[in-house]
Structure 1
Amino acid sequence: MAQAIAESEWDICAHGWRWIEHYKLDPETETDHIAKAHASILASTGKAPQGWYCRYAPSERTRELVAGHGGYLYDSDAYNDDLPYWTEVAGKAHLVMPYTMVNNDAKFLAGDVFSSKDFSDFLIDGFEVLAAEADRVPRMMSIGLHSRIIGHPGRVAALVRFLDHLKDRDDVWICRREDIARHWMAEQPFRAGA
């Protein structure tokens, strides 16, 4: 898996060093785990993760520790918006790339959807609404995918149908979160107090 990631252009987001709750960690251990997650992914794949997103929930200091690490471009420990936004952390600009569980293949595990058709229809409907709104305001659609979930033939068919729906459109940018973050930084640079 690490070799496949190393040879790909996949987006790598650190999800934690171990499968634990960050909000239960003391500051020193959490700092250590954030650094170890970064180092482990870099050592395994040859690519540093650009984003951070806690499993479960972050602690009240996770964002500050991630920003202080210096190796992460953004964090996604937020469900409070549909577009990236800037915040100040310890007096420095920090980009937040909000995440959503709405368009996430975890719906298969939660029982929200059973068939790939249900999931692809849900994604297509969501996309069409956002595309219509994008005539007036910027829109971003995040789709959370996990190899252990979407990677089954009967489930990946949903992703194939969704991508087929988009393939002939010239008003769509299919990209990684890292690409969105870099675009946002270039087009919407941080402004103190804004």
Structure 2
Amino acid sequence: MHYDFIPQPEREKLVFPNGKTIAVILTTNLEYWDKERDDPAPYYPGGPGIVGGTLPGNVYDNPNWTWREYGQRVGVWRMFDVFEAEGIPTSCTMNAKMALERRPVIEAAMARGYEIVPHNFVQTDLLTDFAHDKDAERAVIRETLKVYRDVVGKPARGWLSSSLRSTLNTADILAEEGLTFFTDLLNDDQPYLINTECGRDLVSISYTSEVNDFTVFMRQGMDVDGAIKVFKEQFDWLRGEAITQGSGRVMNIGLHPHVVGQPFRIRALRDFLRYVKQFDDIWFCSREELADWYLDHCAQGAPEKRAV
């Protein structure tokens, strides 16, 4: 994996379709956790728990597991209701085991026309477990992509790793498997090209760990109004930059059904959606739409392409 360092002021203008200034992506992470692992090493769930302390992987952690399962049983349906009521789509990421163990959630997302992006095989296993074994990492990715194809009915186009814990080989493997975009990198407000060993470029569509319900609610302890303020502040500043500089920006919010899907937090999502709906220059796109548009309209003239 290689990508060039192109400072913001040196880039070509990014002009979105129909004069839109900012692409907004609301990411709903559909994740499944195994109750136990055949390993006494500490259990890594990929996010903070509701009860402190880390148990061995081969010991069932009831409060934390059932708290997360609340998102599958209740929280995600509350979120889907809000997205439907406000007429704004969400981009869903999906562990393979979520598709196997919680199929109704995936079918509901597909029935609503929501994008689904592979999100590793299971939330509790990380690609970094195979940082020095490219063949083993490729096997996990291929198995995940197989389940995706079987369940969704078409090949995957992009990827988000569990906890964003990819390796230096991940992008190269994804390109070899024919994918188009990669979502793990946190380093930009615009798409850009990632060059890979096989010669097939990937589009980086950055995720975010700060404008994220885990961060605002669980790590920073904000209430609903505090979270709304963060979401709006991010949106307003990015949109202002895009208008002033004549170059589009991308805003993503990372959401988890067991966090923002709680009754006392869901208003943060609803009120933010109602806020952004008042602007007519917003592109509520999927990652696939953004990646395809970038490849079709910008990639050949991108600074990182010209530098090759």
TM-score normalised by length of structure 1 = 0.90
Q: If you compute each CA radius of gyration, which structure gives the higher value, 1 or 2?
A: 2
Q: How does 1:44-63 map to 2 (within 5 A)?
A: 44-56=151-163, 57-63=165-171
Decide whether the 8 Å contact of 2:212 with 2:253 is kept in 1. Answer: yes
Counterparts in 2 of 1:41 and 1:7: CA distance versus 1, 3 Å? same
Residues 135-188 of structure 1, C-alpha deviation per residue, up to 9 Å, x if partnerless?
A: 113211111122232222222211110011111211111222222212212221
Does the aligned pair in 2 maintain the 1:6–1:46 contact within 8 Å?
no
State the SS of the aligned residue for 1:12. Answer: strand
Equivalent pairs, count: 193
CA distance in 1, matches of 2:149, 2:166: 22
8 A Cα contact 1:5 1:45, kept in partner: no
- The match for 1:2 is 106
Deviation of 1:128 after TM superposition, in Å, equals 0.8
The structural deviation recorded for 1:108 is 4.9
User: Deviation at 1:50?
Assistant: 2.6
Report what 2:129 is aligned to: 24
Aligned equivalent of 2:195: 88
> Which stretch has the larger CA shift, 60-69 or 22-31?
22-31
Distance, in Å, in 1 between the alignment partners of 2:171 and 2:279 is 36
Q: Assess, with a 3 A threshold, how the Cα gap between structure 1 residues 110 and 144 changes in structure 2: closer, same or farther.
A: same
Structure 2 letter corresponding to 1:128: D
Residue of structure 1 equivalent to 2:299: 189
Work out whether residues 228 and 268 of structure 2, in 8 Å CA contact, stay in contact via their aligned partners in 1.
Answer: yes
Alpha-carbon distance in 2 for matches of 1:22, 1:159: 30
Higher relative contact order, structure no. (Cα contacts within 8 Å, ≥ 6 residues apart): 2
TM-score (norm 2): 0.58
CA RMSD of superposed structures (Å): 1.8
- What SS does structure 2 have at the residue aligned with 1:79? coil
Identity, % of aligned positions: 26
Alpha-carbon distance between aligned partners in 2 of 1:33 and 1:171, rounded to the nearest angstrom: 40
C-alpha separation in 2, matches of 1:123 and 1:109: 12
Q: Which runs of 5+ in 2 are unaligned?
A: 1-104
Is contact 1:83-1:139 (8 Å) kept?
A: yes
Q: Aligned pair in 2 of structure 1 residues 133, 111: CA closer, same or farther (>3 Å)?
A: same
Query: Cα offset for 1:109?
Result: 5.4
Matched residues in 1 for 2:158 and 2:264: separation? Answer: 29
